[in-house]
């Protein structure tokens, strides 16, 4: 029903209905609540295009989450953001703490650790391009902004899908602090807090931290093995703010984080022959003494139970430094510089088959270093013409290594030993270890401009342009075939029969021009806006090349042409706020990983797709003590041209693009007295059916599901102390967050969502 309606939307209807974000979409916004009469929806002031403006006055398709909203809805990792943002999905192939975002159907199917997502992640305007650099970040935040649509004309990296901006609270020239502690099921212990102080009239400091530890949510029934999908992490951030004069501000942020839990677990869904694809049964029949194992059908296991033969740790360590400098040159011009350095390591080892068999396990190693510099001039005078002119440079060096181990517990040659001879007998996958590694360097340069001109009568014309030049080199590429005992046997890539250490390389370089143009009309506090834009995502290198040099590919750049329109309305005496946008995307050369049944993989492009969609967000204040919020996202995606695993996929829906995403919340101050306020919050979200592959395989589909949460809290009248009881996924809904077919080993690989969680939190402010 929804699909058919969107199929017949006209371009004119889209323009009237709503358009989003470009002009200010990449701005970081400093969210401040503007005091009202208590009965009106509060305003948010943003620094869109580096000048203070009401968010309602800025043509931005953006969802902003304040620190208070994140606390009430218990958003504790980046993947949780998708539960409250329309048309945002989070795929957890690398675990919930390392989400792969999809926004408005623009997504990345490649789960390789060397890739950069089409939905960029920023920490305080610093682009984080590699998964190893993300770490623990959702603590002591001022807000989170999710910006929809192509980005690139205001600052940072160019992207096709959008951006997720995490903005930390900055130091203030006063002494304050906060501390929270909590306990929940799965023996979860957590704490977070900050201390802020002035170190003089010109210098202030803020030290923030977070810590969490919890048992695994997936029960491992193998003797002596720990439960999986646990939590064990901390993060620390020191921020210094220096203001030598009223015209200059410098903010230095230093941070580090560590995650070291028992890794996520895989719920393997057996095929007709079981996990192992019939291989174990065949060799058990040949000699049950040497090969006592048989294929696994998960008999007798519950949905959240597995029998993993080992419980690997996931280790992610990050270090980061960023300096944001703002210098006002005169009343209408300021210079902004954002400089950053990042380093991260990620060790991600998984029991891929989720069983007591050694049918398949994979070890991923990622080590990344990144340096970025963004420099811009912002013209923010009183005249009709406002502008931002800037430049961006980014450098990234990544080392990746992957070990793929298959059937390590079968004596294929029946000689009584598990060693390299089994690989020689059954290879190139069975009884073997495949080890690939490479180093990757990427450079990105860009010059950009974003302008607006006040035409009078409430009309503004907006435009932006960006020139990007990207260059990359992947070298020291090597794939080795080894036995289960680690003895090297052959060089598969580049395929040198005489030299096991032989390597190869590949590279790309490409320039691109992208941009936007738009017009908006502001009258009486209400806004209509429309724009056309083109987004660009640079080329990518394949990293899952194990078997042959033909797997080494470089994906072409992908592009999105976007037509959008939108509105922002304050109604009923500002007791009702209604924001909406509609869009049409022409999506070309989407980068994706093509995994064939024989295990070979190539990074390729889907030539053409199209996406219709819309978002609607509502905030209502029917009474002083009652607030209601809701959001709706609609998508209709279709592949126009493409071939995956040798099969045409034209007419299929894009992966990670559900037709409907819906969320809502009710906040009610149940009782207020001189002692304090008792409040109740009920929230929920719903996601309709979605596909996890371009083939739209029925076995890899996730049906529609909804999640329900609640929170009861008491806060003292002086706002110093609080206590809250919370719960998430209260109905204990079972759902998948990632699915991949591994038919060559006889199963579907599944990540499952977090079960019912609940707990108690105490906090104090001073």
Instruction: Record the tokens describing residue 484, joined without a space.
Output: 């289960």
Residue 35 confidence (pLDDT): 42
**Contact criterion met (CB below 8 Å) for 100 and 108:** yes
Interatomic CA distance for residues 700 and 487, integer angstroms: 36
Please choose, from the candidates 472, 455, 580, 512, the residue with its C-alpha nearest in 3D space to the C-alpha of residue 153.
512
For position 64, which CATH number holds?
Answer: 2.40.170.20
Residue whose structure tokens are 């989170």:
144
**Contact criterion met (CB below 8 Å) for 102 and 637:** no
Domain count, the chain: 1
Residue 32 confidence (pLDDT): 40
Q: Consecutive 10-residue runs of the chain (766 residues): their mean pLDDT?
A: 39 36 34 52 61 72 90 91 94 84 90 89 93 94 91 84 93 97 98 97 98 97 95 98 97 98 96 96 96 96 95 94 96 95 96 96 96 94 92 97 96 96 91 97 96 95 96 98 96 95 97 96 93 95 92 95 96 93 96 78 92 96 95 98 92 96 97 96 97 93 97 97 98 95 93 97 97
The beta-carbon contacts of 176-180 under 8 Å, at least 24 apart in sequence, are 176/765, 176/766, 177/765, 177/766, 178/763, 178/764, 178/765, 178/766, 179/763, 179/764, 180/761, 180/762, 180/763, 180/764
Phi-psi region of 729 (alpha: psi -120 to 50; beta: other; left: phi over 0): left
Pairing of the two strands 219-220 and 305-306: parallel
Phi-psi region of 732 (alpha: psi -120 to 50; beta: other; left: phi over 0): left
Residue whose structure tokens are 């409907």:
660
The CA-based angle 194-198-202, given to 5 degrees, is 135
Q: In the chain, what is the straight-line distance between the N-terminal and C-terminal CA atoms, in Å?
A: 54
Interatomic CA distance for residues 32 and 142, integer angstroms: 9
Instruction: Record the tokens describing residue 500, joined without a space.
Output: 């096991």
Beta carbons within 10 angstroms of residue 675's beta carbon: 12
Interatomic CA distance for residues 26 and 62, integer angstroms: 10
**Contact criterion met (CB below 8 Å) for 761 and 615:** no
**Contact criterion met (CB below 8 Å) for 606 and 586:** no
DSSP label at residue 629: E
Please choose, from the candidates 202, 78, 222, 92, the residue with its C-alpha nearest in 3D space to the C-alpha of residue 136.
78
**Contact criterion met (CB below 8 Å) for 564 and 519:** no
Can you give the residue range of the structural domain that contains 394?
A: 2-765
**Contact criterion met (CB below 8 Å) for 175 and 215:** no
Residue 47 confidence (pLDDT): 54
pTM of the model: 0.91
Question: How many residues are there in the chain?
Answer: 766
Instruction: Record the tokens describing residue 232, joined without a space.
Output: 């064990």
Instruction: Record the tokens describing residue 737, joined without a space.
Output: 């967050």
Residue 77 confidence (pLDDT): 87
Interatomic CA distance for residues 464 and 389, integer angstroms: 10
140: three-class secondary structure by DSSP: coil
CA 246 to chain centre: 37
Residue 645 confidence (pLDDT): 87
**Contact criterion met (CB below 8 Å) for 14 and 584:** yes
Interatomic CA distance for residues 102 and 148, integer angstroms: 11
Instruction: Record the tokens describing residue 702, joined without a space.
Output: 């996730």
CA 470 to chain centre: 23
Interatomic CA distance for residues 396 and 296, integer angstroms: 43
**Contact criterion met (CB below 8 Å) for 606 and 598:** no
Helix, strand, coil content of the chain in percent (nearest 5): 10, 55, 35
**Contact criterion met (CB below 8 Å) for 537 and 553:** no
Instruction: Record the tokens describing residue 598, joined without a space.
Output: 């024989």
DSSP states of 306-340 as a string?
A: E--S---BEEEEEEEEEEEEEEEEETTEEEEEEEE
Beta carbons within 10 angstroms of residue 586's beta carbon: 15
Interatomic CA distance for residues 507 and 438, integer angstroms: 13
Residue whose structure tokens are 């023996």:
187
Interatomic CA distance for residues 704 and 389, integer angstroms: 45
């Amino acid at each position: 029903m929804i699909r058919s309606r969107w199929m017949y939307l006209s371009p004119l209807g889209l323009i009237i209905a709503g358009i989003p974000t470009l002009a200010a979409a990449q701005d970081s916004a400093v969210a401040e609540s503007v005091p009202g009469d208590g009965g009106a929806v509060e305003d948010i002031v943003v620094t869109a295009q580096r000048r203070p403006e009401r968010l309602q006055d800025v043509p931005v398709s953006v969802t902003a989450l304040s620190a208070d909203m994140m606390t009430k809805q218990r958003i504790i990792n980046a993947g949780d953001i998708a539960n409250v943002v329309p048309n945002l999905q989070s795929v957890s192939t690398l675990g919930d703490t390392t989400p792969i975002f999809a926004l408005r159907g623009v997504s990345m199917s490649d789960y390789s650790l060397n890739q950069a997502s089409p939905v960029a992640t920023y920490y305080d305007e610093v682009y984080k391009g590699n998964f190893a650099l993300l770490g623990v970040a959702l603590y002591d935040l001022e807000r989170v902004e999710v910006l929809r649509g192509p980005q690139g004309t205001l600052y940072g990296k160019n992207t096709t899908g959008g951006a997720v901006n995490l903005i930390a609270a900055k130091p203030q020239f006063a002494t304050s602090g906060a501390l929270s502690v909590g306990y929940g099921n799965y023996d979860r212990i957590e704490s977070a807090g900050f201390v802020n102080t002035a170190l003089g009239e010109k210098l202030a400091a803020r030290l923030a931290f977070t810590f969490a530890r919890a048992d695994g949510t997936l029960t491992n029934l193998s003797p002596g093995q720990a439960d999986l999908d646990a939590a064990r992490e901390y993060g620390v951030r020191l921020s210094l703010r220096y203001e030598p004069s009223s015209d200059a501000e410098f903010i230095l942020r230093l941070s580090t984080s560590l995650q070291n839990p028992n890794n996520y677990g895989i719920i393997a869904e057996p095929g007709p022959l079981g996990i192992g694809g019939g291989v174990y049964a065949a060799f058990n029949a040949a000699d049950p003494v040497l090969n006592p194992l048989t294929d696994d059908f998960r008999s007798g296991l519950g949905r959240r139970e597995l029998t993993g033969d080992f419980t690997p740790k996931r280790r992610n360590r990050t270090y980061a430094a960023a300096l944001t400098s703002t210098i006002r040159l005169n009343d209408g011009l300021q210079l902004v510089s954002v400089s950053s350095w990042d380093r991260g390591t990620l060790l991600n080892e998984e029991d891929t088959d989720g069983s007591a068999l050694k049918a398949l396990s994979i070890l991923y190693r990622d080590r990344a270093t990144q340096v970025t510099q963004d420099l811009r001039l912002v013209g923010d005078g009183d005249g009709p013409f406002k502008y931002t002119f800037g430049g961006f440079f980014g450098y990234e060096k990544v080392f990746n290594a992957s070990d793929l181990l298959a059937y390590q517990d079968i004596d294929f040659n029946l000689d009584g030993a598990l060693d390299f001879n089994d690989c020689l007998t059954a290879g190139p996958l069975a009884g073997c270890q495949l080890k690939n590694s490479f180093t990757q360097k990427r450079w990105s340069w860009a010059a950009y401009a974003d302008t607006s001109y006040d035409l009078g009568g409430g009309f503004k014309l907006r435009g932006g342009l960006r020139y990007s030049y990207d260059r990359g080199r992947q070298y020291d590429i090597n794939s080795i075939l080894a036995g289960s005992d680690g003895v090297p046997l052959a060089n598969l890539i580049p395929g040198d029969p005489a030299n096991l250490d032989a390597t190869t390389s590949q590279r790309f370089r490409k320039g691109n021009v992208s941009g936007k143009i738009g017009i908006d009309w502001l009258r009486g506090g209400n806004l209509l806006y429309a724009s056309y834009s083109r987004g660009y995502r640079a080329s990518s290198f394949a990293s899952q090349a194990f078997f042959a040099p033909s797997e080494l590919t470089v994906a072409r750049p992908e592009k999105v042409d976007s037509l959008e329109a939108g509105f922002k309305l304050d109604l009923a005496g500002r007791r009702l706020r209604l924001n909406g946008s509609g869009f049409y995307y022409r999506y070309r050369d989407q980068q994706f990983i093509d995994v064939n049944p024989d295990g070979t993989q190539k990074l390729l492009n889907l030539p053409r797709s199209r996406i219709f969609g819309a978002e609607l967000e509502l905030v209502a204040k029917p009474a002083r003590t009652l607030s209601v919020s809701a959001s709706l996202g609609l998508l209709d995606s279709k592949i126009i041209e493409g071939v995956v695993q040798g099969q045409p996929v034209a007419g299929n829906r894009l992966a990670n693009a559900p037709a409907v995403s819906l969320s809502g919340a009710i906040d009610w101050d149940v009782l207020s007295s001189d002692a304090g306020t008792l409040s109740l919050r009920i929230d929920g979200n719903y996601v309709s059916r979605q596909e996890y592959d371009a083939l739209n395989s029925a076995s890899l589909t996730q049906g529609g599901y909804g999640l329900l949460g609640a929170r009861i809290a008491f806060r003292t009248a002086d706002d110093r102390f609080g206590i809250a009881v919370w719960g998430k996924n209260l109905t204990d809904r079972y759902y998948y967050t990632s699915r991949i077919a591994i038919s060559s080993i006889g199963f579907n690989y599944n990540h499952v969502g977090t079960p019912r969680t609940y707990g108690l939190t105490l906090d104090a402010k001073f």
